[in-house]
């Protein structure tokens, strides 16, 4: 009986000791050591990680609000410069995205993955939380689908779009988020379908229309329009750009 009482007392001391080592503040009032957070309603674990004088150190883990408590994100603060390499996961452990957060905003290169796959879906570049630099999008088979460029969150410079077979579908340019300059659309078999020019998001000048790669008409834009083209599949399986009509146009 005495041994049992001693064991209970010992376990109680250990429990209290361990409890005191979690979520502590140092003499400066800053977080120190191991901290664990919980989801407010369910009281399930939300995160865990170590602090040193109020700053995150090492790797933090974040858990979903389920009984399984699956890790849905990790943040690595090892660099010690306030940034953290962040990886997001789905509930099956597959990567969703990864990259650096600085001041809680994306910075530099970020990778995004196809659903439940190790295949990269896109590679994007950020500056202070805004897209800045080159962005690449890939098909599931790894073939390049799009290449675009950004400046402070807006499309800027050249843009190219490809079919899954690698053939070019569109090449154009942007200025402050609007189409600007020469635009060429292809049918997926390397034949030009439309060719023209945009200025600050509006079609201008003469536009050329092609069939089977041969010029069939050349029309001057009679009024400014912001319409763009969408890619459709023809009856013979070819990818062709088609100009969508607006509600102000007659069909």
24-25 and 31-38 strand pairing: antiparallel
- CB neighbour burial string for 58-72, b if at least 16 within 10 angstroms, e if fewer: ebbbbbbbeeeeeeb
Q: What would the mean pLDDT of 213-223 be, rounded to a whole number? A: 87
Tell me the two tokens of residue 46. 């939300």
Instruction: Flag whether pLDDT at 227 surpasses 80.
Output: no
| Confidence grade of residue 103 (pLDDT, cut at 50, 70, 90) | very high
Q: What is the pLDDT of residues 70-97, one digit of tens each?
A: 999 999 999 999 999 999 999 999 999 9
What was the pLDDT predicted at 27? 96
Q: Using an 8 Å Cβ cutoff, are 130 and 153 in contact?
A: yes
How confident is the model at residue 221, as a pLDDT?
A: 87
pLDDT band at 237 (very low <50, low <70, confident <90, very high): low
Position 251 pLDDT exceeds 80: no
Q: What pLDDT score was predicted for residue 222? A: 75
Q: 125: which 2 tokens?
A: 């570049």
Q: CA–CA separation, 86 vs 53, rounded Å? A: 22
Summarize the confidence of residues 212-217 as an average pLDDT: 91
Cα Rg, the chain, nearest whole Å: 28
The pLDDT confidence band at residue 6, using thresholds 50, 70 and 90, is: very low
What pTM does this model have? Answer: 0.81
> 46 CB contacts (<8 Å, ≥6 apart)?
37, 38, 39, 62, 63, 65
pLDDT tens across 105-116, in order? 999 999 999 999
- φ and ψ at residue 226, rounded to 5 degrees: -100, 10
Q: What is the pLDDT averaged over residues 132-147?
A: 98
């Amino acid at each position: 009986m005495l041994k049992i009482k001693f064991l209970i007392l010992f376990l109680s001391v250990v429990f209290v000791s361990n409890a005191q080592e979690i979520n502590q503040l140092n003499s400066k009032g800053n977080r120190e050591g191991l901290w664990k957070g919980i989801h407010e309603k369910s009281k399930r674990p939300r995160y865990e990680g170590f602090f040193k004088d109020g700053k995150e150190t090492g790797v933090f883990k974040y858990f979903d609000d389920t009984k399984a408590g699956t890790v849905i994100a990790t943040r690595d603060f090892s660099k010690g410069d306030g940034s953290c390499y962040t990886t997001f996961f789905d509930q099956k452990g597959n990567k969703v995205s990864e990259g650096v957060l600085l001041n809680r905003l994306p910075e530099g290169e970020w990778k995004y993955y196809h659903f439940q796959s190790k295949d990269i879906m896109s590679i994007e570049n950020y500056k202070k939380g805004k897209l800045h630099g080159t962005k690449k999008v890939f098909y599931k088979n790894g073939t390049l689908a799009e290449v675009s460029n950004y400046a402070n969150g807006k499309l800027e410079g050249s843009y190219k779009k490809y079919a899954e077979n690698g053939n070019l579908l569109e090449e154009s340019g942007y200025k402050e988020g609007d189409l600007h300059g020469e635009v060429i659309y292809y049918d997926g078999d390397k034949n030009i379908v439309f060719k023209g020019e945009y200025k600050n998001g509006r079609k201008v000048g003469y536009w050329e229309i092609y069939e089977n790669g041969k010029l069939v008409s050349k029309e001057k834009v009679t009024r400014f329009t912001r319409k763009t083209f969408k890619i459709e599949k023809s009856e013979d399986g070819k990818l062709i750009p088609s100009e969508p009509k607006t509600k102000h146009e007659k069909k």
